[in-house]
Chains A and B, each alone.
Chain A
Amino acid sequence: MQGAEIFVESLLKEGVDTIFGHPGGAILPLNDALYSGRVRHILTRHEQGAIHMAEGYARATGRPGVVLVTSGPGGTNVVTGLTDAFMDSTPVVVFTGQVPTGVIGNDAFQEADIVGMTRSCTKHNYLVRDVHDLARTIKEAFHIASTGRPGPVLVDIPKDVSQAVCDFVYPTQVHLRGYKPTIHGHAGQLRRAAEMIAAAKRPVIYAGGGVIHSGAAEALRQLAELTATPVTNTLMGLGGFPGVHELWLGMLGMHGTVAANTTMDEADLVIAIGARFDDRVTGNVEEFCANAKFIQIDIDPASIGKNVQVDVPIVGDVKACLDRLLEELRAFPKDWRGEHRAWLAQIAEWQLKYPLQYTQEPDGELMPQFVCEQIYEVTQGEAIITTEVGQHQMWAAQYYHCLRPRQFITSGGLGTMGYGFPAAIGAQLACPNAIVIDIAGDGSFQMNVQELATVVQYNLPVIVAILNNHSLGMVRQWQQFFYDGRYADTSLEVSPDYVKLAEAYGAVGLRATRPEEVRPVLEEAMRLRRPVVIDFVVKMTENVFPMIPSGGSIKDMLLA
């Protein structure tokens, strides 16, 4: 069997139904082998689009997203996406074509040392030098990408390897002596954690993306309800706990709710679950949760104790650890709700006093927060939301209350503008019946706008909701606060007409400029089940609040 056929057979063995890619010279044998149509290949208009689609697919399903691109620029164009997937623990397997082994190192046409370049932004990568190693390498790549702390794996396949012939045997097992993720948490540590939780007067659960990756949302809900402990989510954790639950505090961190950040600050115990104490969460670590002890559960030992010293570190799969922890906690004959009554009452008071809020303009200028609220209401909280990066991302996180995991797909760690639209395409391909909405900014949308052709080609009912403030709003917000209103390079005064742009690609373009137009336009977009771009022309100078300035602490929080 030819290397290219081995590639296709291996994908089928891994249960891959869809891959995202862009062809080129060095990868041609693989594209040719896909011509049979046994694995659906989605032709993107840019390799960056392909990898963000794969990320969206992976985040919507939990299964690795697969990318196929050519050598040289094909490879370098996925570096941003690899880094994004690495930061956000998204399982992705990228196959790159490479020049033939005989000319590697000779500066051949479209040659790039993609394995060398991507060492620091992949969980692992491979250059396949012998067709006999191909099937085993693919097996390992999927295994590494999807187990432990998930992440991106790149497999570089020289053209002569994909054309060489050998017998196809797909391994049933993986032997990697240097890779054995710890699944079950240390029993003694889990017992200590349970005792600490039982002894806490003011506990809070700080839950991140790890809850979603490990499928632990139900276990988390049980933990919170059993122990009457409030839950705050990181940006990556949204959907890991129901956004309508009475114990939910909203998102924490730089643009988190007052209640979430205050609860963290006042807590005597922080239970960190699948979260890594990112600087956008902690601000100044010296002052972060100054009154608390910490329990941290994470599958990645390196994420424990990296930024904040932890009292009870537990390495293991979040789901496995929470199941065990719940068993321990059920043994405590405790009136949890009664004991936490004062604490929960105090939190309810903060929630009541400091809700998320904005002011409608009397002249009917459209407020971006209102658009997000309307999207939430019209979709009844059931849509898959993707976002780009910036103000709109924070408003989406604040005002769209996710009900379940894998519903909120955003670029958290890397903050990649241009992520949301292709991610929405990937999510829609994974979930054809879902309502998928990319809440976008006008700046970000333009970074991968070429994928309008893709969304039209495959007739996907993705809705792009542009909160168009004609500026790079989050940067502008920082300029207003920290650079004395010197708005250097943040005005998008020249922008396309997004309605015409959508129409030029064969998509539907809609526009709303006043509050009363928002709901009808959204309902129209949902009814069409076609690619739709909605240009919501919103107030330019609106800012995201609350805000804790970078490196600050809760006492620096700005409310308006």
Chain B
Amino acid sequence: MMLTNHAAVHRHIFAVLVENQFGVLGRITGLFSARGFNIESLCVAETEDPTVSRITLVTTGDDKVLEQVHKQLNRLIDVIKVTDLSEEPHVDREMVLVKVHAEAEIRAEVLRLAEIFRAKIVDVTPKTYVLEVTGDEGKIQAVIDLLKPLGIKEMVRTGKIAIARGQRML
């Protein structure tokens, strides 16, 4: 009845409600580094209740690792609730700001792409545009793939945030 060592690795999104206090994020990142868990992205901000912060954490691992991530997070006193959103219908979004090369004939192409992906141009110079793109993982990746050949100068991503679909609340 042993666990297999070569189990499939999955990516999961955890929504973690925590006490809105200093040091809490340190406890969580410390836990991940101490136990060798991955963090692909991590987003944190206050919720509708100012005493509670919500962390959206994307991590990878096999089933055993993901179970330990869930349980070890729950062991922290400042963690109020842990939900594995990957196990239920949910919406996830990420925002990216991309500073892209935009001179001469490329300018129009960038604009066209922005329009297709419903991205906003939020900063303009004679040589660059800054695009704001929001979407799920597939859309973000597609935009990046298409902008790359045109010349991405700088890019910043928020990391994923996610929420359960339907009437259920955490």
Contact = CB atoms under 8 A, between A and B. Distances in A.
Nearest to B33: A120
Contacts of A300: 75
A124 interface: yes
B2 A308 contact: yes
Contact of A293 (B1, B3, B19, B74): B1
B34 interface: yes
B77 A178 contact: yes
Interface stretch (B23-31, B98-106, B161-169): B23-31
Nearest to A125: B23
Interface residues of B, number: 24
Contact of B34 (A120, A285, A292, A311): A120
Contacts of A306: 68
A178 B1 contact: no
A144 interface: yes
A176 B31 contact: no
Contacts of A124: 76-78
A415 interface: no
B72 A120 contact: no
Interface residues of A, number: 26
Interface string A466-506: 00000000000000000000000000000000000000000
For B75, B76, B79, the residue with the greatest tally of chain A CB atoms inside 10 Å of its CB is B75
Contacts, number: 53
Given A300-B75, A301-B71, A308-B1, A120 B31 contact: yes
Given A116-B26, A306-B68, A301 B74 contact: yes
A399 B95 CA distance: 65
A302 B71 contact: yes
B77 A144 contact: yes
Contacts of B71: 301-302
B34 A178 contact: no
A288 interface: yes
B79 A178 contact: yes
Interface in B61-81: 64, 67-68, 71-72, 74-81
B74 A308 contact: no
B2 A177 contact: no
B1 A292 contact: yes
B76 A178 contact: yes
B75 A302 contact: yes
B74 A302 contact: yes
Contacts of A177: 19, 80
Contact of B27 (A119, A305, A311): A119
Nearest to B67: A305
Interface in A293-316: 293-294, 300-302, 305-306, 308-309, 311
Contacts of B78: 124, 178
A18 B81 CA distance: 37
Given A119-B30, A288-B2, A301-B74, A178 B80 contact: yes
Interface string A115-134: 11001100110010000000
Contacts of B81: 178
A176 B2 contact: no
A286 interface: yes
For A120, A178, A292, the residue with the greatest tally of chain B CB atoms inside 10 Å of its CB is A178
19 contacts: A119-B23, A119-B26, A119-B30, A120-B30, A120-B34, A123-B77, A124-B77, A178-B18, A288-B2, A293-B1, A294-B1, A301-B74, A302-B71, A302-B74, A302-B75, A305-B64, A306-B68, A308-B3, A309-B1
Given A119-B23, A178-B78, A306-B68, 12 more contacts: A115-B23, A119-B26, A178-B18, A178-B79, A179-B77, A286-B2, A300-B75, A301-B74, A302-B75, A305-B64, A305-B67, A308-B2
